[in-house]
Structure 1
Amino acid sequence: MSEREKKDHLNKFKNALLNVSPEYFGIPAIHGQVHMNERAFAYELYHQLRKIYNGSNWYANGELRKGLTLLPNYEQDNTLIPDLVVHHHKTTTNNIMAIEIKSTPTVTGSQLIQDLKKLEIFTRPGEGYLNYHIGILLVINSSFRDKLNGMSDKNRDRITELLNFHKLAVWNISKPMPINSNGINLPLDETCLEIIRGYDL
């Protein structure tokens, strides 16, 4: 895939993400509660991706168990199913994007490492692998950098190591509900989003 094509897919994903209404980052509930519901958020992000890719020959799918039996030494469990993918059906050579989502402020270093390890496996190049070109760990409702600074040296080093794999990045929206002077939620814009790679740490 050319850098131009990769940039085009990344821009499509960014547009889909910024089109998600702030209310989906935290679902308002009775008694003033807010539920950080990862699945509800993922479904809305999937909907926005589908709208952007509609009419193209690319497909967005959620929690797709695609080709995992092809992976060397793969164990038949559910741990390697990404939250969202963009790809072509029936092939392992036109897989574009694998996305993992973490939506709770209490996400741990171990959980972040688990998702990055999964994305590294999905984006490994070569025969017998799935060859996704882009792996995104989307962290919302908490600051990824604050999480990184507060974790053990071992976990921090492991995350840095995984992010040094050139196909992986963390996309972080720590405060997804911009409010205007009248107290009304505003649509998201690029100022809400930080994209973090290994060389940024």
Structure 2
Amino acid sequence: MGFFEDLGARIEAADTVVSVGLDPDTDRLPDDVQDADLPRWAFNRRVIDATHEHAAVFKPNAAFYEDSDGWRALRETVAYAHGKGVPVLLDAKRADIGNTARQYAEILDYVDAITVNPYLGEDALQPFLARDDAGVFVLCRTSNPGGMDFQHLELAAYDRRLYEHVAERAAGWDDEYGNVGLVVGATAPDELEAIRERVPQLPFLVPGAAHRAGRRGR
């Protein structure tokens, strides 16, 4: 099965759509894991133990692991999550040209899905898209305030905004490859709803959903 079939089975079995982030900031880890051989792995193991029954997917952010001990911690984290029956989506926002993109895509030998940046176009994403066993989540309408700088630009030739064009292109890639989703932030609910109407068939990764729910709760 491919990633989205596995994810669907996990969602049904665990009755959850929650993505649990694993972003261990070394400056903020609890004192009792600081002396471990791999503090980030020790912290992640604790999080996985506490949340795996409620997680549809674990989502480590690559930026928190980009040193020698970090990559070791990430490998341990991925293996442990898989041992709990939970898939892993690496939030890496990768894309590049030629051999560089192919090297980036090799991480999909270890994780189940990845986030990618569409700005370089389809050829930069092809090594990821070609992995029919993996999920590829394309940045579309991101949750950060600066996303407005480019994503809301009107494309006169297409009579739509840039983020809407990205959604349409991603849908086309999914028609061809069958393994594409979108990253659409919960901080832009109107745009999220519009994108859902435009591409109802695509899975969404929705960062900021918990933050937004917390604000509503207050």
Is the shorter-chain TM-score for this pair beyond 0.5, marking a shared fold?
no
TM-score by length of 2: 0.38
Which of the pair has the greater relative contact order for Cα pairs under 8 Å at 6+ separation? 1
Which is helix-richer, 1 or 2? 2
TM-score by length of 1: 0.41
